[in-house]
Structure 1
């Protein structure tokens, strides 16, 4: 798409000035902290090399199809998530606000992890964590006390957290193209170069081959385990930024003649390519750590926080050129996290702008000031790690996945809007989605996610997560999940200040057909 194909920049909404910028922004949203620290561990735990098969199946049958679902809803209806759903059917607006609430909660705690990564980028220059990265992270840096809620502030977290929110606020105040678009144009190439440098350096470490063998050695028996397939579908949704309004919002910022199908394929495959690259770099480094300790790779593998802030600093301590390796790793975390956090908060700002018909400055202030204050109040304290862990677990499983299932079922079977969305994608998109896409969105993807959710719900009910007290799981887990649904319904009851109809379709568009023609098909 050329710059002339884009919707004109307007004071109310704004737009990306080209398809290329949109794709970079979408990739920036999809590529985040989870790609770097979650995918390698999930792949390793679920069959190694053989996990790539269910992962690929999940990408093609659920990930990319749902990405196109988000694109179709946002691109056709030209609005934030709530407004786009409302333009399909007024009662469906609550689905959009459900997604907005999820984004707000994710943004509040995601910024804290980003602040840790920012601080660790500085620590990496002189290995400030010392000889015991585990004790440094939990005791010296986070000052994590006993499990519970304490109000003691941690000064070392406050200032990087403030910096993160100021940077995000500055980008979002600049607007769609000047802020989000230009940031993506700079940050995504820098991220790719930095992570390629990290991977290359990791591959030359002693023991790298041992780490790669552990990651890619196939366990074919795992393919018969339903939990492995569930893990593959769960990973795809977590990593693609689908199901919680981001791609709906971004798609509303591109020209009406944009090839959304081709864009979706580029974004989906780019995200998975980066995940594979992350797996290679991380496990090459873990192989080095295992050889240095005279241990097996599985003895040094850890997930999430343990991998990023404990295992990798231990690797950096031993590796030649460790300071460079550390700056590349944690710098990549910061860049990937920033582009994702920007996209998460843009969902909320866009929804508020549409609902109140306000300026970007007003909406950004109404969203970012409370988000920043809540973030500081809960996640710069000595109990911040525990609260973050619980909120993240419940929101990812019973927020993102649940709203994804409900939205697919509502659009496909209640509103019966898939023929309309199919025609929209096919108007300017290639390849055609007619035939295969409605089947996947209306059947395969919802069934797969229901199975994933059923498993996660059973585990959450029968085995208290992380051995946390029941009251903490209720207050910071189940309660926020329920409140999001209630707030979504409540907010959707109020009418938009000025809910303009969707922009008219291009001349000759098949979408110009009458409703009776739609029903007859």
Structure 2
């Protein structure tokens, strides 16, 4: 078994953790939810939850990883043997996510190449996206390329792979997202009806809270949306932060690292909204903001870029390059959660663990890609929608398993072993854990209740 490596410093860890947090969930889900849930109202609730609810979950997972120096599969049993099942679930979740995340990463490569090779007009046409994902072979090729790139980074290890790539990709990603956001705010467009809209108009929709017609049920819906987004934004409840925490040196300032991860996550999520909402609103109006998920990323935005003319080619290339960077850093963290678990549990080398996870992700990623043609079906989901293979895997991992592991973690830390275990780990070098009492209240009382509500809502048992 290889000796466990550590991140070279706090900065490398923060960039790697932020890179994990900055993924497709930030770029296509955060702006959609912000637009749907009243702009500034969603932002306000999200920020409050980030500093309380999200902070508690993020702190717990990083501390568990650093204290045990284990991947998620074995870390929880080191804290409390009777709760080892949490480790199994924490390893299973990223194993489920990685195949379909690789498929989506392949879609991003396809669109990046479409814009760089001058096929952006075709990419903006109705039916282009559906035609691509329902093709039998092409999605498989792009999924394979994306998975190969992630595996190569994982094989290089913690320092030369994860940390080194994060130090290059994350600054580039932030520069790209700031540049595109500035451009989005500066554009104006007059539609066929003579209505002129600007990026600044879209920014006001994004930033100003809309309390019109606000009811308790609407507030609860926004609250649940913001909580669900935090799972994606902070990469909690997936074993990722446990794995990354296990590579943090005992000498590092864990409190400061958590604060910086929160800052980077909020910054990129906010900028993603500032990039997408003004651009879509300017060219497509309020109706264009109703698209979510793949529809926003691969249908609405290419139409926006095509409408920009020559400048749209450059903006489209920059956008999909940024999305590709975000997808790679997130996918690497998802893969590492499984690889570190295999290394610790089976006592095997990084190469063997990485190749095993590559094979698993390749097999199930192939099934995901074929889920739009050979294995196509429409399965009713408890949320009221229907889904294919990708949607079912996403529902099981995100709506069922992630809330369960978070609730279990809160109970284990809050009531079985006690919050002091985490507090001691955060303060082991004499740091001041300034939000200690907020942490105790959240992990013991507030977070479990909120998570239970989220579980009931996401599983379709209740609605608002």
Same-fold call, TM cutoff 0.5? yes
2:191 match: none
- The structure 1 residue matched to 2:138, chosen from 156, 176, 185, is 156
Q: Secondary structure at the match of 1:154?
A: coil
Kindly indicate whether residue 40 of structure 2 is the aligned counterpart of residue 46 of structure 1. Answer: no
Cα separation, 2, equivalents of 1:198 and 1:352: 40
Kindly indicate whether residue 237 of structure 2 is the aligned counterpart of residue 248 of structure 1. Answer: no
Q: Secondary structure at the match of 1:134?
A: coil
1:403 match: 405
Query: Structure 1 residues 227 and 394, CA, compared in 2 at 3 Å: closer, same or farther?
Result: same
1:424 match: 425
Native 8 Å contact 1:33 1:337 kept in 2: yes
Cα separation, 1, equivalents of 2:26 and 2:459: 24
2:327 match: 337
Query: Structure 1 residues 407 and 298, CA, compared in 2 at 3 Å: closer, same or farther?
Result: same
1:20 match: 11
Structure 1: segments with no counterpart, 5+ residues = 1-9, 144-152, 291-295, 464-521
Q: Which moved more, 1:241-250 or 1:365-374?
A: 365-374
1:355 match: 345
1:59 match: 50
Structure 2: segments with no counterpart, 5+ residues = 189-197, 377-386
Query: Structure 1 residues 420 and 258, CA, compared in 2 at 3 Å: closer, same or farther?
Result: same
Cα separation, 1, equivalents of 2:19 and 2:228: 20
Native 8 Å contact 2:224 2:454 kept in 1: yes
TM-score, length-scaled by structure 1: 0.80
Cα separation, 2, equivalents of 1:391 and 1:410: 27
Kindly indicate whether residue 206 of structure 2 is the aligned counterpart of residue 215 of structure 1. Answer: yes
1:377 match: 367
1:198 match: 180
Cα separation, 2, equivalents of 1:219 and 1:459: 28
Moved >6 Å (runs of 4+): none
Native 8 Å contact 2:111 2:123 kept in 1: no
Query: Structure 1 residues 281 and 223, CA, compared in 2 at 3 Å: closer, same or farther?
Result: farther
Native 8 Å contact 1:154 1:381 kept in 2: no
Q: Secondary structure at the match of 2:428?
A: helix
Cα separation, 2, equivalents of 1:70 and 1:178: 24
Aligned length: 437
Cα separation, 2, equivalents of 1:132 and 1:170: 32
Cα separation, 1, equivalents of 2:451 and 2:121: 41
1:483 match: none
Query: Structure 1 residues 58 and 305, CA, compared in 2 at 3 Å: closer, same or farther?
Result: same
Cα separation, 1, equivalents of 2:349 and 2:91: 18
1:117-150 Cα shifts (integer Å, max 9, x gaps): 0110011232445285331111x2122xxxxxxx
Cα separation, 2, equivalents of 1:252 and 1:155: 39
1:83 match: 74
Cα separation, 1, equivalents of 2:124 and 2:8: 49
Q: Secondary structure at the match of 1:114?
A: helix
TM-score, length-scaled by structure 2: 0.90
Deviation of 1:196 after TM superposition, in Å, equals: 1.4
Q: Secondary structure at the match of 1:254?
A: coil
Deviation of 1:346 after TM superposition, in Å, equals: 0.5
Kindly indicate whether residue 89 of structure 2 is the aligned counterpart of residue 98 of structure 1. Answer: yes
Native 8 Å contact 1:124 1:326 kept in 2: yes
Q: Which moved more, 1:320-329 or 1:209-218?
A: 209-218
Cα separation, 2, equivalents of 1:458 and 1:195: 35
- The structure 1 residue matched to 2:354, chosen from 364, 369, 372, is 364
2:307 match: 318
Query: Structure 1 residues 57 and 167, CA, compared in 2 at 3 Å: closer, same or farther?
Result: same
Deviation of 1:423 after TM superposition, in Å, equals: 1.5
Deviation of 1:381 after TM superposition, in Å, equals: 5.1
Native 8 Å contact 2:185 2:203 kept in 1: no
Cα separation, 2, equivalents of 1:47 and 1:77: 42
Map residues 226-305 of structure 1 onto 2, 5 A cutoff: 226-290=220-284, 296-305=285-294
Native 8 Å contact 1:47 1:218 kept in 2: yes
Cα separation, 2, equivalents of 1:420 and 1:130: 56
Cα separation, 1, equivalents of 2:257 and 2:113: 36
Cα separation, 1, equivalents of 2:411 and 2:101: 29
Q: Secondary structure at the match of 1:133?
A: coil
Native 8 Å contact 1:37 1:307 kept in 2: yes
Map residues 119-198 of structure 1 onto 2, 5 A cutoff: 119-125=110-116, 126-130=118-122, 133-138=125-130, 140-143=131-134, 154-198=136-180
1:503 match: none
Cα separation, 1, equivalents of 2:371 and 2:393: 15
Q: Secondary structure at the match of 1:29?
A: helix
1:261-299 Cα shifts (integer Å, max 9, x gaps): 111111012101111101111012112212xxxxx3234
Cα separation, 1, equivalents of 2:82 and 2:358: 28
Cα separation, 1, equivalents of 2:244 and 2:251: 15
